[in-house]
Structure 1
Amino acid sequence: MMADDSTYLLLNSEVDQLVGDLEDTKPNLMTFYHANGNIEYFDNEEDFSNNKERLYTEHCKEEKISFVLPREGWFPDDNKPYLAPYDPINNEVEIYLYEDEYYRGDMFGLRRTPHDKDYFEVSKFWNFGGGITSMIVHTINKAGLFYFYERMECQGKCFSVFINLDQSINLCSASPTGINPGTDFRFGSIFMLDLKKLYVQGTAGNWSDRICCIKVERFIGGGGIF
């Protein structure tokens, strides 16, 4: 198999067969990242949805990483990423998408606010043209389930993550240590420092320059709202 212009030999024939089957027969494969680091796979989003309540129950019981934010000083002076929400009073979700790894290069943001026309819908999604190598996601005062798709309109392969308030998840590498600043609001975050280190299950590629659509579903406590 090929990945990033390199060849990898899978010595275990069963694993080799599994990867081939995923690539050939699961074009809408969904990958779910548990809070404890485990990974679970589903044939498609319908299969995932049928297991959503179980996954949320397990998520609440799993040991999670304590909430820590990277220290701003860890980053160069000309690169101060949005490590905490920029406008927590008006926004419920903030997503910062960067062209290059380590939150560098061109950036654009997505947000969900109570002023959105579709605010009372459980889910919201955004389409964009890809070209993203690092990302920061904040959910503010409400927990959420986030989906990241390889095609617009919530199509193709996807990975998903639950994020609770007061929780920090880093999917691509170990987070620099830091301290959660005192605030009068609560939020949870997903940090993706370099999507080249997050591999697409069922293919030999990674998620850099691949994500073209993001969806969020709000959920609140015991069993959630889906």
Structure 2
Amino acid sequence: MMEFINRYLFWVCIIGGLTSCSNEFIDSASLDESSSITTKALTKSYTILQYESFIYKGSSYEVTYSIVGDSVVNMIADEDTKSLLSYLNSLSGWGTFIYADGSVEYFDNEGELMANLDAIVDKNSKIDANFIDQVSSRGFVPENDACAPDWNGNIGSLYLCDDDGYSGKVRHIFYPSTSPDSVAVPHLKPTYEMNDKTTAFCAYVRSGYYMLLNMYEDDNYRGSFISQIVDGTKDYVMDRGLFSLNTREARDVEFGGVFCPNLKKVVLRRDVSKTWNDRITSIKMKRISKPFAP
């Protein structure tokens, strides 16, 4: 563990041109052996160093991103990893699935992800059952009424916000109980006026249901996409990873959710230039019939 910390601080110093290594760290780092995400913020330039391990076709890789604002300004990785990311970048629609512990797996396209969905759900359920790293809900879960779930005839819903912290304009996309298999929006502009404007989002599903949420960079479900499972019994926060919440308030209707207060902290992973802030153009919400098994 100390070796990893030393390596991490070494890279902080290497990128020290952005700010000095002394007295500049804010006390908001996430550093845990059980998580695949390690981050540290530097106060003067608001630079985030984000370490990430990922899986591609059964093999593991590592990369470190340097993020300023909503832009990735540097990427540190070995040649094999750089070559793989260059290959993925050449694909028209590669995807990132985010597991319950924040670890990620890359797929060449949506078809490949869907072909492996049963295995993904099974793996995700086992990770979820053993995952103990938890964070406070303060600042992560929306408190404004505009993002409160609406269960009037719905089994789920997605709320898109154009400012971080679930503020600014909010648009609701509902999953009616009468919808057979999925709800899809091929372009967010005509109906919702949210094309390339989403900075925060929250997704809900009622207890007893499990939903696959895919969000795409381009219209008609094209381009790079991020994918995660919304579990009707648990709450998760997407904040440079995916973390389970340690508290759940009493609810008249039992439900679970995935909450992302700021997409500027989620790397696009298509190139070394942007995060997912203001990048989402189309979405799919798909009901999963197979429940999690402990």
TM score, norm. by length of structure 1:
0.81
2:124 matched to 1:59? yes
The secondary structure found in structure 2 opposite 1:21 is: helix
2:175 matched to 1:108? no
2:277 matched to 1:214? no
Q: 1:176 to 1:84 in 2, by over 3 A?
A: farther
What CA deviation, in whole Å up to 9, does each residue of 1:143-174 have, x standing for no partner? 11110111121111111101212211212258
The structural deviation recorded for 1:176 is 11
Aligned counterpart for 2:228 among listed residues 161, 173, 181: 161
The structural deviation recorded for 1:101 is 1.0
Could you tell which deviates more after superposition, 207-216 or 161-170? 161-170
Aligned length: 214
- Which sections of structure 2, spanning at least 5 residues, go unmatched? 1-64, 189-194
Whole-Å Cα distance in 2 between the matches of residues 82 and 68 of structure 1? 23
The structural deviation recorded for 1:189 is 0.5
The secondary structure found in structure 1 opposite 2:154 is: coil
Whether the 8 Å CA contact 1:22–1:203 is kept in 2: the answer is no
Corresponding residue of 2:103: 38
Whether the 8 Å CA contact 1:132–1:208 is kept in 2: the answer is yes
What CA deviation, in whole Å up to 9, does each residue of 1:191-221 have, x standing for no partner? 1111011011231221110011111111234
Aligned counterpart for 1:140 among listed residues 206, 211, 230: 206
Whether the 8 Å CA contact 2:72–2:267 is kept in 1: the answer is no
Which protein has the bigger helix share?
A: 2
Which protein has the bigger strand share?
A: 2
Query: Which amino acid is 2:108 matched to?
Result: D
The structural deviation recorded for 1:10 is 3.0
The two structures, once aligned, show a CA RMSD in angstroms of 3.1
Corresponding residue of 1:93: 156
Q: 1:69 to 1:144 in 2, by over 3 A?
A: farther
The secondary structure found in structure 1 opposite 2:268 is: coil
Q: Indicate the structure (1 or 2) with the bigger Cα radius of gyration.
A: 2
Aligned counterpart for 2:182 among listed residues 117, 123, 126: 123
The structural deviation recorded for 1:59 is 1.5
Could you tell which deviates more after superposition, 190-199 or 101-110? 101-110
The structural deviation recorded for 1:177 is 6.6
The structural deviation recorded for 1:82 is 5.0
Percentage of identical aligned residues? 22
Query: Which amino acid is 2:164 matched to?
Result: E
